[in-house]
Amino acid sequence: MNRKTFIKTSLSLMGASIVPIPWIQEEYSVSILLGKGNPKLHSPEIQLFNTAGNAFKRMQAAAKKDGILLEIVSAYRSFERQKSIWNRKFKFNQEEGLSPEQNINKIIEYSTLPGTSRHHWGTDVDLIDGSKIREGDVLLTEKFHGKGPYVVMRKWMEKNAATYGFIRPYTDKKTRKGFYYEPWHYSYAPIAIPMLKSYMDLDLKLLLSTSDLEGSIHLSTSFLTRYREENILGIAKELKTF
């Protein structure tokens, strides 16, 4: 892709010092934005766009000096992978007796519609402290608070992540709507901001119509309008600076 770099005005990131954010502007194809492309990722271990991967490695090295091993649980996720997650949850909830509307609303507490996930962009990571023993589901809020194993990592990220360009999209602010709070999830802002800007120009109703997506006939125009405003845009203000 043709690439040009420009500097966005300084931002105050998650309470950190005001720092300039370099935007990496590219021609983002629809397939890349929807997770249907073939993006060039940093490495099998760090499945992020190369620039984001390099920034992550710098952050990882800094955290290691403080005794924290930043480990990626999930990074890039394709449309097909997200669809399999969605369909699995939909079928499970259906068997539990939820109506289609209840089912969809239950899924979008944490999981996105395929084609709308920030993980499609090669900019987002779910992180834990790999120096701690892994037990059961690691991406649970209680494991990042109280006496949870990832409290020290969470506090370190809150203090330092913005220095490396990583911002938590799904904050615990009560005024934010959409997906539930995710203390483990971070976005690489220099790429994620312009990608979101490009993404918002897409016609979701047209692009998300697919016969093999469970519950797709219940994705009404009104639902997608609300989903767009609350779930896609229900993120930290630092990631919506366009």
The per-residue pLDDT for 6 is: 34
Mapping DSSP to helix (H, G, I), strand (E, B) and coil, where does residue 121 land? helix
Residues 6+ apart with CB under 8 A from 107: 86, 89, 90, 93
Share of the chain above pLDDT 70, in %: 87
Type of residue at 128: I
Is residue 5 within a helix (H) or strand (E), and if so which, with residue range?
strand 3-12
The per-residue pLDDT for 10 is: 34
The per-residue pLDDT for 15 is: 39
Residue ranges and CATH numbers for the domains of the chain are: 3-239 (3.30.1380.10)
The Cα 64–Cα 68 span in angstroms is 5
The per-residue pLDDT for 210 is: 63
Mean of per-residue pLDDT scores for the chain: 88
List, in sequence order, the alpha helices (H) in 12-78.
30-33, 50-65
Q: What is the pLDDT of residues 166-194, one digit of tens each?
A: 999 999 999 999 999 999 999 999 999 99
Q: What is the pLDDT of residues 46-81, one digit of tens each?
A: 999 999 999 999 999 999 999 999 999 999 999 999
The pTM of the full predicted model, rounded to 2 decimals, is: 0.87
pLDDT above 70 (res 242): no
DSSP secondary structure letter of residue 181: P
Over range 204-226, report the average pLDDT: 83
Share of the chain above pLDDT 90, in %: 76
Q: Of 150-159, 200-209, 231-240, where does mean pLDDT reach its minimum?
A: 200-209
